[in-house]
Amino acid sequence: MRLDRRKFVKASAAVSALSGLGATARAATQAPALVIYDSRLSESCAFADRHGALKFDIAAEHGQLWRGMRSGLPAGRVIGLTRWSDLVIVRGYAGEQGKRLRHHRKLGRLFVWELV
């Protein structure tokens, strides 16, 4: 995987988006319990690497009918940088586990989001 300047800037913008959400969200900038990313997308990989938390790669989940996501999410914040369709699926499974979408924002072709 090659990370060029453009992809690095996009990933940095995603990180900035999470930190610029206001006082309530700034309090939530503590390390997330889980970072959900797609290893097929370099921006998403850079985002996951930047947060250094437990990581969950959704690249293989489509073929496994989202078995890993259905098995349970950890307590605490879950953040991600994914395509919209993946966010919708993750949000559905997270809702079944008592989590809700706190924030989402479009960044280019991807969405940065947070579940609590």
pLDDT digits 0-9 by tens, 88-111: 999 999 999 999 999 999 999 999
The closest alpha carbon to 82, from 18, 49, 35, belongs to 35
Average pLDDT (26-41) is 83
Mean pLDDT along residues 6-19: 63
| pTM of the entire predicted model | 0.73
Determine what percent of the chain is predicted with pLDDT higher than 90: 60
The residue ranges of every structural domain in the chain are 5-115
pLDDT of 71 reads 84
Which of 1-10, 35-44, 98-107 has the weakest average pLDDT?
A: 1-10
- Bridge-based pairing state of the strands 110-115 and 78-82: antiparallel
* In the predicted structure, residue 27 carries a pLDDT above the cut 80: no
Pairwise pLDDT comparison (81 vs 68), residue with the higher score:
81
Cα–Cα distance between 68 and 20 in angstroms, integer?
Answer: 31
Distance CA 22, CA 70 (A): 31
H/E segment holding residue 68 = helix 67-70
Backbone angles phi, psi at 115, to 5 degrees: -115, 140
Q: Is the pLDDT of residue 11 over 50?
A: yes
Q: How far apart are CA 86 and CA 80, in angstroms?
A: 10
